[in-house]
């Protein structure tokens, strides 16, 4: 989940938790201590982002387990959640979606152990995921400190490309790189974040890079300074933005961020929208001490240093 949504409402109407709740609403996942074992719990459901049902199921599963990795945990089991309209229902399509999800879960060492479906005019699929985490090494959304550097582990623009696919402006071959990124599990990035003692961590999903970055600084005495030119962007994205292929969610995210993000005057509306583009199965966004970056540099994982943490008042500055 993310800023100003369901989780905020839960916190407001249920302000207190027992000692067993290690992480409550407002982070990527909740963490609950049972007999000394920290259990990570999260749920995410999405609408199709690609036409192929197996690939959609595979992507949706990786998107759902990502919140466990964003906490520094490992997924162990999952339940499927599926919305579909019974008039359009095709059992073979459904089987392929589930096969894709099971394939992704196996890659992550987890099992699908059940599920629930409901009637919905628009196809939806996702997982409720249970994972485990070392209770002393939980990666939280807050905790970034002055002087830290900020890194991102996947390029952005996924929402713009899947919108272009739906509109028929691009085909699945054109967005092959984006599909490969959506199928990339955040397990290695999470392991490196733990090794590098990341001071804060989240994954970039529906609220876009800036929305999730804001979630890391809100109600704090730090600001994130992000350099636009250091943000990796997928191919075809620039062309698609100019032809108007911008998802509704990007506009909503940018509107929400009004007053919370200070943009350099040189950044165009399109560039601001790109940083607000909702991502499906996006990368991790994390902060770490400058000297720990060597751990990422010595690995073969993709990453980009996109800015740094300064003393401030809980806002994002984009230069």
Interface positions with Co ion (CB under 5 A): 1, 28, 67, 203
313 is written with which tokens?
């008042």
What's the min distance (Å) between Cβ of 196 and Co ion? 19
End-to-end CA distance of the chain: 27
What's the min distance (Å) between Cβ of 46 and Co ion? 11
**Which residue's Cβ has the minimum distance to Co ion?**
28
* Residue 23 or 245 with smaller CB distance to Co ion: 23
* Residue 25 or 312 with smaller CB distance to Co ion: 25
176: three-class secondary structure by DSSP? helix
215 is written with which tokens?
């979630």
What's the min distance (Å) between Cβ of 83 and Co ion? 18
What's the min distance (Å) between Cβ of 268 and Co ion? 28
What's the min distance (Å) between Cβ of 71 and Co ion? 9
* Residue 28 or 187 with smaller CB distance to Co ion: 28
Burial level of 51, CB count in 10 A (0-12/13-18/19+)? exposed
Q: Distance between CA 93 and CA 284 in Å, rounded?
A: 31
Q: Distance between CA 293 and CA 40 in Å, rounded?
A: 27
What's the min distance (Å) between Cβ of 212 and Co ion? 7
Q: Kindly give the residue spans of alpha helices, DSSP state H, lying in 36-85.
A: 53-70
287 is written with which tokens?
């902060």
The residue count of the chain comes to: 319
* Residue 241 or 316 with smaller CB distance to Co ion: 316
* Residue 203 or 277 with smaller CB distance to Co ion: 203
Q: Which residues have a Cβ under 8 Å from the Cβ of 139 and sit 6 or more positions away?
A: 70, 71, 72, 190, 193, 194, 198, 200, 201, 286
* Residue 1 or 250 with smaller CB distance to Co ion: 1
Rg (CA), the chain: 19
Q: Distance between CA 15 and CA 81 in Å, rounded?
A: 28
Specify which residues 129 forms β-bridges with: 42, 78
């Amino acid at each position: 989940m993310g800023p100003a949504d369901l989780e905020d409402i839960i916190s407001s109407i249920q302000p207190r938790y027992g000692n067993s709740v290690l992480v409550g609403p407002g982070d990527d996942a909740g963490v609950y201590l049972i007999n000394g074992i920290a259990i990570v719990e999260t749920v995410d459901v999405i609408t199709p982002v690609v036409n192929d049902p197996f690939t959609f199921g595979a992507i949706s599963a990786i998107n759902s387990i990502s919140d466990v990795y964003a906490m520094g945990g490992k997924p162990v089991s999952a339940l499927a959640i599926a919305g579909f309209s019974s008039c359009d229902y095709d059992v073979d399509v459904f089987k392929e979606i589930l096969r894709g999800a099971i394939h992704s879960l196996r890659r992550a060492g987890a099992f699908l152990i059940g599920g629930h479906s409901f009637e919905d005019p628009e196809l939806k699929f996702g997982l409720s995921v249970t994972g485990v985490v070392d209770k002393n090494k939980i990666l939280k959304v807050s905790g970034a400190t002055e002087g830290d550097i900020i890194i991102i582990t996947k390029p952005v623009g996924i929402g713009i490309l899947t919108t272009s696919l739906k509109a028929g402006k691009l085909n699945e071959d054109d967005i092959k790189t984006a599909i490969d990124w959506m199928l990339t599990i955040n397990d290695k990035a999470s392991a490196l974040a733990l090794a590098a003692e990341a001071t804060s961590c989240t994954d970039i999903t529906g609220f876009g890079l800036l929305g999730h970055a804001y979630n890391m600084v809100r109600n704090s005495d730090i600001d994130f300074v992000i350099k636009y030119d250091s943000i990796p962007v997928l191919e075809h994205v620039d062309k698609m933005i100019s032809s108007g292929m911008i998802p509704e969610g990007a506009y909503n995210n940018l509107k929400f961020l009004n007053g919370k993000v200070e943009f350099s005057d040189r950044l165009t509306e399109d560039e601001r929208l790109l940083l607000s583009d909702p991502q499906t199965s996006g990368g991790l966004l994390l902060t770490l001490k400058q000297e720990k970056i060597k751990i990422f540099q010595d690995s073969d994982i993709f990453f980009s240093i996109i800015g740094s943490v300064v003393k401030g008042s809980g806002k994002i500055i984009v230069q």
